[in-house]
Chains A and B, each alone.
Chain A
C-alpha cells in the first residue's frame, strides 16, 4: 500500500533522515520505534508532504506521491494524528471533528460519522461544545484520533498517541487502535516510544536510529530480540 524508498529529508541544512525505506501492506498495523530525535516524526511528516523529502520516493498504491502537496496527500486518504495532538484550541469539539472532514462534502455522511465517534468516545459528546484547548490530555488524544477518523482514512498515521497519558488511558487508546484496524480495515502506521505495547498490537515493526532504519521484523520477533529488549523495552 505504502512504499517508502530511500527518502532523505532536511531541515534547512540539517539532514534528519539519512535514508529511510519501509513498506506497509494493506490491512496491517506497522509500528516504528526509536529513541528521541531518531527521525520518527520527520518520517511521518515526509509521508504527509509537510516536510517533503529532498531525495527518494514515496509510493502510495503504486503511484509516486512525494511531490504532492499536503492537501493532495490527505485527499488520497493518508491521514496523520501528529505528535502532541494538535487540537485546534479555540474550536469546539464539534468544530474540530468537522475540520477532520474538511475535504468531504457529504453532509449526511459526516453527521453519521460524528455520531459514530461519539458512540466510541461518549466523553467527547459530553464535551461537544467545549473548546478543544480546555480538554484533558486523554480527551484531546481521543479527539485527535476521532478527527482523523472523520477523514475516512485508508492509511492512518499515529505519532506517539500514548505520550503523556496515564496507563489506563494508554491501554484504552491501544485497544481503540486495534479496533479501528480490525473493524474498518484501516491500515495503521504507529510511531511509538512505548515499544512494548506497540509491538503487542502490531503485525510488523521497524526500528529507527539516527535517521535510518536499523531493524525490521515481525512484531513478535522484535519483542523477543535481545537488542530491542535492551534498548527499547527496558529489560
Chain B
C-alpha cells in the first residue's frame, strides 16, 4: 500500500473538510436556534468570494502593491463585513416576518432568497467564471511538505483552526455566546431571563455569514476562479456535512465536514473522481440509515 498517496489524500480531504466545516457551521447554528434551513447560506459564501475579488481588483488598479498576502487579508476583512451585513439583512427581510408562520413558509422564502442572490450577482457581475488572483505566495518552509499540502492549503488549515478556536471561545465564554446557547436550548426561558432573542438570532446569522465569507475567500484563492453558482454546490455539500454530523450540533458540523471531505477525496483518489459527489451523498444516505440523527446528533425529543 502506498502510504504517501494515502497521506496526500488525507490532507486533501482535511482541507476540503475545513471549507465545508466553515460553511456547515452557519447552517447548523441557525438551525439550532430557529429550526430553519437557511438555503441562501451558500450564496453568502459566494458573495464573500465576489466581494474579495472586487476588492483585490480595486487594490490592484489603485496601485496598492504590498505583498499578496496583505491584499488577501484586506479583501477578506471587507468580504467578511459585507457578508455579515448580507446575513443580517437576509434574516430581517426573508425570515423574521415569517417567524410565526407555518414551517414551510420560511423554507420557501429561503429558497427564494437563494435564487435571488444568485441571479443578482449574475446580473451585476457575470454568469461566467472570473479568475481570482493568486495571492498566497509559495512559502519556503512548505517546500518539504509540498507533495501533501500547498501553501494555500496551509493557509486554509491555519485560518480554519484559528476560526474554530475563536468560535469556541465565543460560544463558551462570552455573554452573547451564552445567550445563543440558552436560546437554542429553551427559547421561552431565554426570554424569561431577559435575553433579547431577536438580537441573538441576528448575531447567529452574522456569525454564520462571517464564517461562510471566510470560506468563500479561502476557496477562491485555492481554485483561482469563481462564478455566481459556486454557492449552490458548496451549500449543498456543507448542508450535507451538517446533517451528517447531526444538524444543530456544532462539533457535529465540523466532524461531518471532515468525514465528508475525506470520503470525497478518498473516493476520488482510489476509485474515480467522476463520482466524487456520488460518494458524498451516498455517505449521507448511509449514515442517515444507520444513525438518523447524524453522527453526534441526539434522537429528537418531541416536546410535550
Contact = CB atoms under 8 A, between A and B. Distances in A.
B16 to A, nearest CB: 30
Interface residues of A, number: 25
B186, B191, B193: residue with the most chain A Cβ atoms closer than 10 Å: B193
Interface stretch (B43-51, B81-89, B176-184, B289-297): B176-184
A147 interface: yes
A99 B175 CA distance: 9
A98 interface: yes
A230 B175 CA distance: 50
B275 to A, nearest CB: 39
A95 B194 CA distance: 15
Contacts of A70: 191-192, 194
A82 B194 contact: no
Interface string B145-179: 00000000000000000000000000000010011
A120 interface: no
Interface stretch (A85-93, A186-194, A217-225): A85-93
Given A71-B196, A102-B195, A86 B181 contact: no
Q: How large is the interface on B (under 10, 10 to 19, 20 to 34, 35 or more residues)?
A: 10 to 19
Given A98-B178, A99-B178, A89 B194 contact: no
Interface string A48-82: 11100000000000000000011100110001101
Contacts of A48: 191-192
B194 A74 contact: yes
B285 interface: no
B188 A74 contact: no
B192 A86 contact: yes
A74 B190 CA distance: 11
A151 interface: yes
Contact of B182 (A50, A88, A103): A88
Contacts of A79: 192
B193 A147 contact: yes
Nearest to B175: A102
A88 B195 contact: no
B189 interface: yes
A88 B196 contact: no
A71 B181 contact: no
Given A88-B181, A89-B185, A98-B178, A69 B196 contact: yes
Contacts of A90: 181, 185
A46 to B, nearest CB: 13
B303 to A, nearest CB: 10
Given A98-B178, A99-B178, A102-B179, A88 B185 contact: yes
Given A86-B186, A88-B186, A90-B185, A50 B191 contact: yes
Contacts of A91: 181-182, 185
A50 B191 CA distance: 8
Contact of A100 (B175, B186, B191, B193): B193
A177 B194 CA distance: 22
A182 B159 CA distance: 57
Interface in A146-196: 147, 151
A49 B197 CA distance: 13
Contacts of B188: 50, 82, 86
A227 to B, nearest CB: 32
Interface in A14-60: 48-50
Contacts of B179: 102
B175, B182, B194: residue with the most chain A Cβ atoms closer than 10 Å: B194
Contacts of B194: 70-71, 74-75, 102-103, 151
A88 B180 CA distance: 12
A128 B189 CA distance: 20
B196 A99 contact: no
Contacts of A71: 191, 194-196
Nearest to A44: B192
B178 A82 contact: no
Nearest to B301: A89
B175 to A, nearest CB: 8
A50 B187 CA distance: 11
B183 to A, nearest CB: 10
A88 B189 contact: yes
Contacts of B195: 71, 102
A27 to B, nearest CB: 23
Contact of A95 (B175, B178, B191): B178
A75 B192 CA distance: 10
Given A50-B192, A88-B185, A147-B193, 8 more contacts: A71-B195, A74-B192, A86-B192, A89-B186, A95-B178, A99-B193, A102-B182, A102-B193
9 A-B pairs closest in CB distance? A74-B194, A86-B189, A70-B191, A103-B194, A71-B194, A88-B185, A102-B193, A102-B194, A99-B193
Interface of B: 175, 178-179, 181-182, 185-186, 188-196
20 contacts: A48-B191, A50-B191, A70-B191, A70-B192, A71-B191, A71-B195, A71-B196, A74-B193, A86-B189, A88-B189, A89-B186, A91-B182, A99-B182, A99-B193, A102-B175, A102-B182, A102-B193, A102-B194, A103-B193, A103-B194
